[in-house]
Structure 1
Amino acid sequence: MARSQPILFEDVFDVVDKDPDGKKFDNVSRFVCHSDLYEMDLNIDVNTDLFPLQRNDKFSLVLAWTLNLDATPGSEKYDAEFPTISGRRTLMDNYDYVMYGKVFKYKDNNMKVEVYVSFGGLLMKLAGDPAKLEPIEVDNNVYLLLKKL
């Protein structure tokens, strides 16, 4: 399916809790977050050395299927013309923390859906309105982009 926009989902989240089940790994924390705009709930693992977060912090989250601003597909193999090498602008230019992962589970509970993504072992669960999460499908590769506000 051809897409005209690179962004699948975008919202602003508030950090509600940090490591609710205790800290499991050095340099990684699990954050429980909530958004006011779409009333989404988010549990996400973040490398806190690279992107430090605390309770009550606010951040913008984007899920995108490509980093290219013109919505052209990126290469799934090594690309010598990758934007950061060639100097082309991408979605990454506007964010502080970027991960690449795969949607591995989609749970539909009628009123709410849950989308699960693994970013090389760092996990994310996004739950909310099915209409807002409809573009995200199991087995899709996605980019997660975060920026503190």
Structure 2
Amino acid sequence: MSNLAAGDAQLFEDTFTITEHDQSKYDRVARIVATSTDNQTTMSLDINTELFPIRPGVNVEVLLATSLSLDGNKDEEEEKGWRHVRGESTLADMYDYVCYGKIYKFEDGDGQTIRAYISFGGLLMQIEGPYKKLTPLRVENAYLLIKK
């Protein structure tokens, strides 16, 4: 994990390879499926293809964080919405695609894995992997940051 965000702000970070891309239901939204480079974690994610065009075979870095502040601290302006953070650099400046949403549900997998569900304004994400990798996730608001 990188040390861009200090403290508890960084919940999860991994590199994934896109394995599937299904844009059959909506014009500007695709459901992508991806596997982490260590093959321990899988992700399915609804993504706005106008803002972030993607195709199978591409590797992406995925970060879930509770703050966009580089020092990991939330400030009052960030609480009002991520677009209103002071004029200084944030994690969002380092990524190509940023969403804000809520981690809302967990399910046990096979006893060794856990599945987390996150909604970004109706664009859904499911991430499944070992308890050890997904332990920092809890029911709370979070930012999704992705870069190629």
Counterparts in 2 of 1:87 and 1:107: CA distance versus 1, 3 Å:
same
The aligned amino acid for 1:97 is Y
Query: Hey, what's the Cα distance between the residues in 1 that align with 2:129 and 2:49?
Result: 25
The aligned residue for residue 128 of structure 2 is: 127
Letter of the structure 1 residue corresponding to residue 45 of structure 2: I
C-alpha distance in 1 between matches for 2:43 and 2:21: 12
Aligned CA RMSD, in angstroms, stands at: 1.8
Partner of 2:36: 35
Taking the TM superposition and a 5 Å limit, the aligned residue runs for 1:53-68 are 53-68=54-69
1:6 deviation in Å? 2.2
Does the C-alpha gap of structure 1 residues 29 and 76 become closer, same or farther in structure 2, counting only changes over 3 Å?
A: same
How far is 1:79 from its partner?
Answer: 8.2
Runs of 4+ in 1 over 3 A off after TM superposition: none
Partner residue in 2 for 1:48? 49
- Could you tell me which residue of structure 1 aligns to residue 70 of structure 2? 69
Structure 2: gaps spanning 5 or more residues:
1-5
The answer for unaligned runs of 5 or more in structure 1 is none
* Deviation of 1:105 (Å): 0.7
More helix by share: 2
| CA positional deviation for 1:37 | 2.8
TM-superposed deviation, 1:100 = 0.2
Distance of aligned partners of 1:78 and 1:42 in 2 relative to their CA distance in 1, 3 Å threshold? closer
Give the structure 1 partner of residue 94 of structure 2: 94
Q: CA deviation at 1:26?
A: 1.1
SS at match of 1:106: strand
Question: 1:11-30: CA deviations, max 9, x gaps?
Answer: 000010111xx611110000
**Alpha-carbon distance between aligned partners in 1 of 2:69 and 2:54, rounded to the nearest angstrom:** 27
Distance (Å, rounded) in 1 between the aligned partners of 2:46 and 2:93: 22
Q: How many residues align?
A: 140
